[in-house]
Amino acid sequence: MADKRRVLVVDDDPLVRETVEDLLLDHGLEATVVEDGESALAVSAEQEFDAVLSDIRMPGRDGTEILPELRELRPATPVVLMTGFASIDSAVESMRAGAFDYLTKPFKADVMLAALERAFEFRELERENTRLRRAVERTSSFGDLIGQSGAMQEIYALIRKISGSSSNVLITGESGTGKEVVARTIHFTGSRAEAPFVPINCTAMPEGLLESELFGHVRGAFTGAHTSKRGLFEEAHGGTIFLDEIGDMPAPLQGKILRVLQDREIRPVGGNKTVKVDARVVAATNKDLRTEIAEGRFRKDLYYRLNVIPVAIPPLRERPEDIPLLAEAFLRKHGGERHPTLSADAIAKLTRYGWEGNARELENAIERALVLAGGAEIEPADLALETGEDGGDFEEALLGEASRRRMTVRELTDRYIDRVLEETGGSKSEAARILGLNRRTLYRRDERGGSAEDVAED
């Protein structure tokens, strides 16, 4: 049988010490209890615990004061703080100083035990960490992720490391860097892979709808709620819920999400019963949440709850090694098995470019190049990148191809119309104005399945 887990309990209140000690013993854990910070440091120097459960307010050196020393003394030992209502702020601050979690007094036994379980799990992971980091060789892909840069290697190692855990994850990165791919990979390579992965975009919906989507609603909760409906947290039971664009979550809902993360239960809209949920929460944002917090738009306590495992994806321009690999993957995705290849010059051009829109922009550029290159090898001229200098590439490439392949005027016109429609975001009247055509001509073109037919004659 495995050794019993050992927990150090630090509290000046004898009643708390006794209750917590009894609880731990009842659950097969070993407890050492001390009554102040100084003694906590002293016993920690002598032996290593699997977790420390410490009060914040104590005479002498309090919980927040001993935290840094404890962390230095025993970096692999997670510290869970216990706090009264009055010191919640310092508990939140302590999370930044390295506390693993905090419990708000009074807490229920199972909440405390769950926090300890997560702490034990975390400690195991910390120990495995160094071993794993050595074991992961340089690979060019992991799950759905592609990339061989150092930054991606670190992300792969981190995802492996957390595969068995259920800790909350916060993914940050510019738009198009692959946050959603990271979230999926975390789920589908982890121990929850058999259960559902449930994504939700927090920007896409008004607050009320978002709430009932997340938590469900009971019958009659609002006009139109003819039946009750399970929320996404329940759908994700045993699996992962992916809160995309969490930075855009309306303030009242932020508070509700925080409660769910703390209590691991939800309350459907209009209902008065709570439901236990077990969903790993992975959130993503391209906003700088620190700024959002400073400007009062995002709750600091929610941030710390979510940010247990931070995954920061650097912009593509900071990891140019990944560009050729991604380009190749996108060629295969959009060009099929027998796709054209990129010439050496084309690869060089892609690698030099700034990719403000990151991998998403690269994917679009490849899709476009496949059309322009029309089956041949892709040359720099086929890559219409959106820099001032490259602005003429589309026209250049199209005319080049037209004369090379002896295109008909109709073919050429079609390509040009498609391009203009793309630029106008599909607005036919705007496109017609630019093209100097009658709007009806463009509609007729649609009916004929996209061929310009008599456009030239119109």
C-beta nearest to Mg ion: residue:
180
At its nearest, how many Å lie between Mg ion and the CB of residue 15?
A: 49
Q: Are 149 and 321 in contact (CB under 8 A)?
A: yes
CA distance 58 to 93: 17
Rounded to whole angstroms, what are the CA distances from 351 to 35, 38, 342, 358, 371? 61, 57, 12, 12, 20
Tokens at 73, concatenated? 């003394």
At its nearest, how many Å lie between Mg ion and the CB of residue 179?
A: 5
**Pairing state of beta strands 101-104 and 51-55?**
unpaired
The number of residues in the chain equals 458
At its nearest, how many Å lie between ligand ATP and the CB of residue 414?
A: 27
Q: Are 437 and 452 in contact (CB under 8 A)?
A: no
Asked if residue 363 binds ligand ATP (CB under 6 A), the reply is yes
Asked if residue 180 binds Mg ion (CB under 5 A), the reply is yes
Asked if residue 248 binds Mg ion (CB under 5 A), the reply is no
136 binds, among Mg ion, ligand ATP, none (CB under 5 to 8 A by kind): none
**Residue whose entry in the numeric block shows the structure tokens 């916060």:** 170
Asked if residue 93 binds Mg ion (CB under 5 A), the reply is no
Asked if residue 126 binds Mg ion (CB under 5 A), the reply is no
Residue placing its CB nearer to ligand ATP in the complex, 91 or 146? 146
Residue placing its CB nearer to ligand ATP in the complex, 140 or 254? 140
Rounded to whole angstroms, what are the CA distances from 358 to 129, 170, 177, 354, 418? 30, 19, 5, 8, 24
The phi and psi torsions of 21 (rounded to 5 degrees) equal -60, -45
C-beta nearest to ligand ATP: residue:
178
Rounded to whole angstroms, what are the CA distances from 437 to 183, 290, 421, 433, 448? 46, 50, 13, 6, 17
Pattern 138-177, Mg ion, x by CB under 5 A: ----------------------------------------
Q: Could you say which of 52, 70, 218, 359 contacts ligand ATP (CB under 6 A)?
A: 359
Q: Which of residues 178-237 bind ligand ATP (CB under 6 A)?
A: 178-181
Q: Roughly what angle, to the nearest 10 degrees, separates helices 409-423 and 439-447?
A: 110
For 296, residues 6+ apart whose C-beta sits below 8 A from its C-beta are none
Task: Choose the binding region for Mg ion from 40-48, 180-188, 202-210, 430-438 (rule: CB under 5 A).
Answer: 180-188
Residue type, 427: S
Asked if residue 147 binds ligand ATP (CB under 6 A), the reply is yes
Residue placing its CB nearer to Mg ion in the complex, 136 or 205? 205
Task: Choose the binding region for ligand ATP from 69-77, 113-121, 172-180, 235-243 (rule: CB under 6 A).
Answer: 172-180
Residue placing its CB nearer to Mg ion in the complex, 280 or 349? 280
- Positions that interact with ligand ATP (CB under 6 A): 145-147, 173, 175-181, 286, 359-360, 363
- Positions that interact with Mg ion (CB under 5 A): 179-180
